[in-house]
Structure formats: structure tokens, C-alpha cells
Amino acid sequence: MTPAARDAAGPSVESSADELVGRLIARGWSVAVAESLTGGLVVSSLVSVPGASAAVRGGIVAYATPLKHTLLGVDAALLAAEGAVHPDVARQMAAGVREAAAVDGEAADVGIATTGVAGPTPQDGRAVGTVHIAVATPDGIRGASLALTGTRTQIRAEATAAALALALACIPPATS
């Protein structure tokens, strides 16, 4: 990709991760990540930032649907009724990972979650490219639903970029 094409496509995952870690550190906040279709790409992008250990608590890859309930506290009835690819599942994953990553009884300040269908086939009646992301902060939970196209790799990469972008939108820069 040329530099002009990269600029037109928006910030890179690397620059978004760097900015997000910087914002978290400036606020003294911690983050935890719950991932399904992205399989660890979001937390990997965060820990690639030098100094990330000051903010990143960790991540849970809850790829199997039952783990979304047992590890992240997603409502079992919701999973049974809607499957794992649903906006409320993403929201509950984001809230749940904050609690799952508690240290000394204190939840993480921010939870980021991804769930969806990367392909090659539909899942739970949802089309390939259906993605739900959510970010939970002390101010509440914000989610987004996406209809992505491309290969499995491209969908996972775009979902990662979207999750980081949503987190940045939810966490404004700290004021001095």
C-alpha cells in the first residue's frame, strides 16, 4: 500500500494501538480485551506498543461460544437465543472482561470486545463479515455493528482496526 493509500484508509492498527495505550497511560487506566473472531489480534496490537504493560491487563480469546458465558459472564439465555454473533453479546463481553481482568478486586477500567463471522461460512444464521464490537468504560458501554467484506484475514484485520478506533472514540485524550 502506498503512503497516500494508507492515509486515505485511515490510521494504521499500529498507530491506533500506540495512541490508545498513550491515552490509557495518561489517564492511569487499565484495559482488558475479549476476542472471538479476531483471535488475539487486538490485544497483540496493544502489547506491541513499548510501555504497554503500564495499561494492558491482558486478553481472553473466547472463541468457543460456551466460553463467552463461563469466562466473560455473557448471559447463557442470550447465547442460546441469538448465538455468539450479536451486538448484546459484544457489549456483555466488553463488560465481562473488565471484571475477568480484575486485580486485587479492582476491575479493568476499559474492556474491548469483538465477535463476528470471519468466514468462510455463515455462523448462527449470520453472514460472513457480520461483526459486532463494543467498548466498556466507566462512562458506559458503546457498541458498533459492521458488515465487512473481503477474505477471512481481511475481515479479522478490519475488525481489529474498528475495535481500536471505537476504543479511541470512547477514551478522549486526557486534559493536562
Domain harbouring 70, CATH code: 3.90.950.20
**In a domain? residue 6:** no
Flag whether 161 is in a domain: yes
Residue 94, domain member (yes or no): yes
For residue 131, is it within any domain?
Answer: yes
Note whether residue 4 is domain-resident: no
pLDDT at 9: 52
The residue assigned the cell 480485551 is 33
pLDDT in tens, 118-152: 999 999 899 999 999 999 999 999 999 999 999 99
Count up the domains in the chain and report the number: 1
Task: Judge whether 5 lies within some domain.
Answer: no
Whole domain around residue 81: which residue ranges?
A: 11-170
pTM score, whole prediction: 0.94
Tell me, yes or no, whether 41 lies in a domain.
Answer: yes
Residue 34 lies in a domain: yes
Q: What kind and span of H or E run contains 17?
A: helix 13-27
